[in-house]
Structure 1
Amino acid sequence: MGVRSAEKGSEELPSLATVSLDMRMDKGVRILSFIVLPLLPAGAATFPLVVGNGPDGLGTLGLTIFSVLFLAGLVLTIVGLRDALYERVVIKNGVIRHTSTFTNRTLRFDEIRGYRRTDMYLYLEPRNADLKRVKVHKYYQYSDFFEALLSRYFPDLDVLEPDNQLETTLDSSGRGLDEKSREALLRRAKITSYLLNGSGIAVGAAGLFIRQYYEVIMWALVLLPLICLLTVIRYKGLIRMNSYEKSRYPSILYAYFIPVPVIGLRVVWDYNVIQFKEGWYIAGLWGFMVAILLMTGTDEFSKKTATDYMLLSVMALFSAAYMLAASLFVNCYYDHSQLEKYAPVVIDKRIGKGKYTSYHLTLEPWGPLTSPEEVNVGSSLYQATEVGDSVHVEKGVGLLGMPWYQLPQN
């Protein structure tokens, strides 16, 4: 369909009926979807190779998680590719209809209360609470024209309503405070979020690039997400895990998320965990607890919409990943048991050339490992070792019962 805009001089709502649009995903985005989306199940398929060390492999729980990840990636790929081909928003005769794999929503223009925007979407909010809002991707064809149309004929709710929403949250966070004290509370919340986000960036960089003060840096990484969680609950939604564009709510997104991959990388670099079935249990329980705390302890997810539940699921998964990484650090670093000594023979060696140079030795089967195992080592140990040499391996039982080993670098 073509595009016919309303007459420039008219400001009455019925003139919207002259607009005719058929918006589909932009061609470039569709091509990118067909390149990127198949990587989801392919990435999940590497899960056993990443974590399946030792004779116990993944274990029952690990295999279950792998199966869920693979199937979820496969489903997301199929749905995403189908939507790339067929999802669309059609505007005709004063009606907007959004159709996709799981969506078929319609709103008349006179049923629209206003719109909100994020970096990726435009949301059309209905006047009637019984109706569902319509979501329009910003990477649709004609999306710029459609956004200009909305800004001309409908109120921007992100501009009109954030103050009201914020006042409601301030009522919950600062009951009994006068206006001056409430403004001070908001300023304190913003300063707190700036400090936490800055700390997240700082300790994340320290964890990646500083070798000294290992224990201090690791504990800073471990404790920061816990401090963020307590802060969000303490401020009862005034400080949020994330906030949409133009929102006045301070967010601690960086402080909560940056430490997680850094802890994981340090654990992978420093230790080789043979099996961590217990870690999956701890991680799963923690992820569930975080989701419950965020849902009941703050008003950030109080609307109980599909988006809320999706964000809660992401928070739960990320929190589970955090607890798994933190548990592995505690398990290995604070394992003061008598280490078992082994001297396996190196059967292969290689240098990984990517964004960063990595050094790998492949060891013959030893102790609990019944097949050859490739391990990361430092450059000095790599240079000092040849194929056929024996290397020293120290194996611990793990403070939390997850056996691990390391190769002393000296």
Structure 2
Amino acid sequence: MYETYKGRHIFSEQSIRYEGALRHKEIPLQAIRGYRTDDKYTHIIPVSKAYPSIRIGYTSEGYEDIKFWLADRFPDLDVQQEQEAQDILQDETLGRSVPEREEKLAQARQVARVLNGMAWATAAWLFFYPKPYDVAVQAGLALPAVAVVALLWYQGLIRADERKDSAYPSLSPALFIPSLGLLLRVLLDFELLDYLMAWQLAAAVAVLFGGLLMYGNRRFISMPNSRWGAIAMVFFCALAYGYGAVVAFNCVFDESPSRVYTVNVLKKHTSSGKTTTYYLEVGSWGPRTAPEDVTVTEATYDHTMPGDSVQVYQSPGRLGVPWFIVGE
């Protein structure tokens, strides 16, 4: 109640500011994409997440004058989205008749909704409880590929990037979230002995994956107001999927016998950030001719002390990239 009493919206020719008792926000006018209105608020939408959004309640003093002020300077994104939806229904390249285009748009929205929901579930599965492990990894490998197929099937009707003010459904979560989950999983679980070869293979997969994304998303890349966002999404999806897919396929599906080394533990330490990484410093073994840190699971870290020994399992890799894991 005190925040509501103290809160003020300040409009100038440079920015819109919110000054409250506990919160302060400011958006430069050139960073405002537009505004949206619902039954309780007018929402001022920035061009990117680098800037905060500001909402103005309909009970604010001078609310009608504020809406006129905004309408003189910025697009109404609700009207813009409605106009974009009408453009879709009038686009003869997307179907022979309006009912056919309406049906196709509804199908595309449903496909995007299902794949995006599966994306979040798959990423959570990979990151929090990847069991059975190979099945979870297969899901992480398959879902972005299925999303690319959907993008190509509904060419020009589904976008790879995401814009909340767009009438076009987006597959951004289905493309990026499982790729990111797969990338984090392999970074946590596997260590490579030849990163140069891994990056060469990852670059080849990223170019192929990114090329398909560029082709399927070319309609939106050609639009000046969405070009750079669309290109950025393609780049990050291709990079995450390229490396994650190569390392996952190389390590998870490697059926070759491993060479086992018994090595001494010299030290142990952790690295903390958003997640905690556990390290053991071990003596030389196989291709490692000097003591180096290796990552281990939390359980292995807790049960192992300096002076103990651990097993290093080295494998040649399904794609020829040698890798290893450490166990008790």
TM-score norm. by structure 1 comes to: 0.61
The equivalent of 1:377 in structure 2 is 296
- Is 1:190 equivalent to 2:109 in the alignment? yes
Distance 1:232 1:327, change over 3 A: same
Q: Separation in 2 of the partners of 1:380 and 1:23? A: 52
The list of structure 1 runs, each at least 4 consecutive aligned residues, that deviate by more than 6 angstroms after superposition, is 24-27, 137-140
What is the deviation of 1:148?
A: 4.3
Cα distance, 1:259 vs structure 2: 1.1
2:250 matched to which residue of 1? Answer: 331
Determine which of 80, 83, 95 is the counterpart of 1:175: 95
Question: What CA distance in whole angstroms lies between the structure 2 residues aligned with 1:402 and 1:147?
Answer: 61
Q: How does 1:273-312 map to 2 (within 5 A)?
A: 273-305=192-224, 307-312=226-231
Contact 1:224 1:255 in 2 (8 A): yes
Of residues 357-366 and 284-293 in structure 1, the stretch that sits farther from structure 2 once superposed is 284-293
Q: Is the 8 A contact 1:277 1:402 kept in 2?
A: no
Q: Which amino acid aligns with 1:377?
A: V
Q: In the superposition, relative to structure 1, how do residues 278 and 168 fare at CA in structure 2: closer, same or farther (>3 Å)?
A: farther
Aligned match of 2:13:
21
User: Relative to 1, partners in 2 of residues 1:164 and 1:292: Cα closer, same or farther, differing over 3 Å?
Assistant: farther
Question: Paired residue for 1:125?
Answer: none
- Cα deviations by residue, 1:259-294 (Å, 9 ceiling, x for unpaired): 122112221222111222233223333433444434
Query: What CA distance in whole angstroms lies between the structure 2 residues aligned with 1:267 and 1:200?
Result: 17
Shift of 1:300: 3.9
User: What residue in structure 1 maps to residue 285 of structure 2?
Assistant: 366
Instruction: Identify the match of residue 185 of structure 2 among 266, 274, 278.
Output: 266
Equivalence for 1:153: 72
Q: What's the CA shift string for 1:71-119, capped at 9, x where partnerless? A: xxxxxxxxxxxxxxxx976xxxxxxxx6x9xxxxxxxxxxxxxx74583
Name whichever of 353-362 and 312-321 sits farther off: 353-362
Q: 1:327 to 1:341 in 2, by over 3 A?
A: same
- The letter for the 1-side match of 2:201 is I
Structure-2 change in CA distance of 1:120 and 1:161 (3 Å): closer
Instruction: Tell me the CA shift for residue 352 of structure 1.
Output: 5.1
- Give the counterpart letter for 1:257 in structure 2: F
Deviations 1:147-192 (A, max 9, x none): 845533368353444344334445366422x333322222211211
Say whether residues 1:120 and 2:46 are aligned partners: yes
Tell me by how many angstroms 1:350 deviates: 3.0
AA in 1 matched with 2:246: S
Partner of residue 150, structure 2: 231
**TM-aligned CA distance change 1:147 to 1:262, over 3 Å:** farther
Aligned counterparts of 1:405 and 1:121: Cα–Cα separation in 2: 45
Coordinate RMSD, CA, aligned: 3.8
2:128 and 2:214 map into 1 onto residues whose CA distance is: 36
Pairing of 1:132-147 with structure 2 (within 5 A) = none
Provide the C-alpha distance between the structure 2 equivalents of 1:210 and 1:231, rounded to a whole number of angstroms. 28
1:347 is matched by which residue type in structure 2? L
1:351 Cα deviation after fit: 4.7
- Are positions 1:389 and 2:308 aligned together? yes
In structure 2, stretches of 5+ residues that fail to align are 1-10, 20-26, 36-43, 55-62
Change (3 A) 1:205 1:147: farther
Aligned pairs for 1:189-268 (under 5 A) are 189-268=108-187
CA distance in structure 2 between the aligned counterparts of 1:294 and 1:374, rounded to whole angstroms: 38
Once the 2 structures are TM-superposed, how far is the Cα of residue 305 of structure 1 from its aligned partner? 2.8
Q: Return closer, same or farther for 1:302/1:322 CA change in 2, 3 Å cut-off.
A: closer
3-state SS of 1:156 partner: coil
* 2:206–2:243 contact (8 Å) kept in structure 1: no
CA distance in 1, matches of 2:272, 2:202: 33
Aligned 1:31-180 pairs, distance under 5 A:
116=34, 119-121=45-47, 148=67, 151-153=70-72, 156=75, 158-170=77-89, 171=91, 174-176=94-96, 178-180=97-99
Higher fraction of strand: 2
Quote how far apart the aligned CAs of 1:223 are: 0.9
Matched residue type, 2:106: R
Give the alignment's TM-score, normalised by structure 2: 0.74
- What 5-or-longer segments of structure 1 have no aligned partner? 1-18, 28-86, 90-97, 101-114, 123-136
CA contact (8 A) 2:123 2:140 kept: yes
Would the alpha carbon gap of residues 298 and 380 (structure 1) be closer, same or farther in structure 2, given more than 3 Å must change? closer
Deviation for aligned residue 1:307 = 4.8
Percent identity for Structure 1 against Structure 2:
27
**CA 1:319–1:302: 2 relative to 1, 3 Å:** closer
In 1, Cα distance between equivalents of 2:272 and 2:105: 48
CA 247–284 in structure 1, closer or farther in 2 if over 3 Å, else same: same
Distance 1:383 1:197 in 2: 37
